[in-house]
Amino acid sequence: MKKVLVTGANGQLGRCLQKIAPQYKDFEFTFKNSNDLDITDILSIKKSFDLVGFDYCVNCAAYTNVEQAEKMPEIAFSVNAEGVKNLALICKKYNTLLIHISTDYVFNGEKKEPYTIKDTPMPINEYGKSKLLGENYIQEITNDYCIIRTSWLYSEFGKNFYTTILKKAKAGDNLSVTDEQIGCPTNANNLASFIISLVSNLNSRSGIYHFTDGLSCTWYDFAQKIILDQNLQYRILLKKDNNYKTIAKRPKYSVLALE
């Protein structure tokens, strides 16, 4: 039986993995949240690996507050870069395949067609820079890895764009949503299934993958779809906001080519 460690188990992707894990009887999953395993503490990671010889480590642990990362980049780099470096070092020591979740924000958004794995990353905010450094650490340290870049992750769990729009729409709040960014919303449940498919496939190649749900749109388009799907269009007013201001620069176009 293959043993799989999932870090960041309380995040939306970790919770989606927990939801489907019981379906896979050939794998023994260990789910750890940040209280159980702090990836910024290499001794904490080593202790977990000493207790169980993991065959796979799925790293869902990340600092994802893009705005706060601009104000306190040291926190983002501690988790998204140095923490990932710690995982890569321990995974190499224990011959564990590291499956790491990265982001479309490693790109600058100036391209007019989907980004491929061959495109050169050029992040424009601290969050993206921290995630790219994490990717670089993995590639420098170990050959046994799968880096999965994804985008606009959402699910029924936690606070994300989907749950926020749904909550406000059900409350009857009118909404203003930007249409200045284009990307691919990705259901974390679908990403979880993709991750399990990598774990299940003995022939999975090491390297970088791009995974999204494939349909590109603006945030406004996505909000409109959420409202229509839930038949809430008669309860609220949804309008486009062309003056959406953020501290962090965000890529205007970050569609990922599926590969």
The residues carrying an active-site annotation are 127
How far is 150 from 237, CA to CA, in rounded Å?
30
Q: What is the 3-state secondary structure (H, E, C) of the chain?
A: CEEEEEECCCCHHHHHHHHHHHHCCCEEEEEECCCCCCCCCHHHHHHHHHHCCCCEEEECCCCCCHHHHHHCHHHHHHHHHHHHHHHHHHHHHCCCEEEEEEEHHHCCCCCCCCECCCCCCCCCCHHHHHHHHHHHHHHHHCCCEEEEEECCEECCCCCCHHHHHHHHHHCCCCEEEECCCEECCEEHHHHHHHHHHHHHCCCCCCEEEECCCCCCEEHHHHHHHHHHHCCCCCCCCEEEECCCCCCCCCCCECCECCC
